[in-house]
Amino acid sequence: MGKDTIADMLTLIRNADMNRKRTVQIPLTNITENIVKILLREGFVENVRKHGESNKYFLVLTLRYRRNRKESYKTFLNLKRISTPGLRIYSNYQQIPRVLGGMGIVILSTSRGIMTDREARLERIGGEVLCYIW
C-alpha cells in the first residue's frame, strides 16, 4: 500500500493553519511541488523554499494569515481532498465543479499536468479532481 501524499500535505497545512503556525514542512514530491506552486500563484501561501537534510528534501511553506484583532481567530485555508486512492473522481471540462461560485479553486490532475479549474476550462480538458481549496 502506498501513502496518499496529497492528503498528507493537505493535513499538514490544515493542522499548521489551525495551530497558527507561520511555517510548515512538507515532504518534497513532484505532485506536492506542483500543488504548492499553484497555492503560491493563487495567493494562498506567502512563500515557498526547498530545504534538504541528509538525503531528504522538504518544501517549507510560509502561510498567510488574516490580521483581524476584533474577532476571534479564523482559519484562512479550507482544504478538502476529493479523489482518494480508493475512489478516483474524474470530470470532463464541462462538469468541473466550482467552489464558492468561483472564489475557491479546484486542483485537477490532467494529461497536461496539474492545474486549476480555470486553466482546465480554458484549455478544454478534464481530469482527476484532486482537491478543493477556498
Q: What average pLDDT is seen over the chain?
A: 91
Per-residue confidence (pLDDT) for residue 69, from 0 to 100: 58
User: What's the residue count for the chain?
Assistant: 134
Please state the rounded mean pLDDT for residues 40-50: 95
Domains and CATH numbers, the chain: 5-63 (3.30.1370.30), 79-133 (3.30.1490.10)
Decide: residue 70, CB within 10 A, 0-12 exposed, 13-18 middle, 19+ buried.
Answer: exposed
pTM score: 0.89
Q: What's the one-letter identity of residue 44?
A: F
Query: What is the number of other CB atoms lying within 10 angstroms of the CB of residue 75?
Result: 13
Query: What is the number of other CB atoms lying within 10 angstroms of the CB of residue 2?
Result: 5
Predicted confidence (pLDDT) at residue 1 exceeds the cutoff of 60: no
CA 87 to chain CA centroid, Å, is: 19
Where b means 16+ CB within 10 Å and e means fewer, 24-41 reads bebebbeebeebbebbee
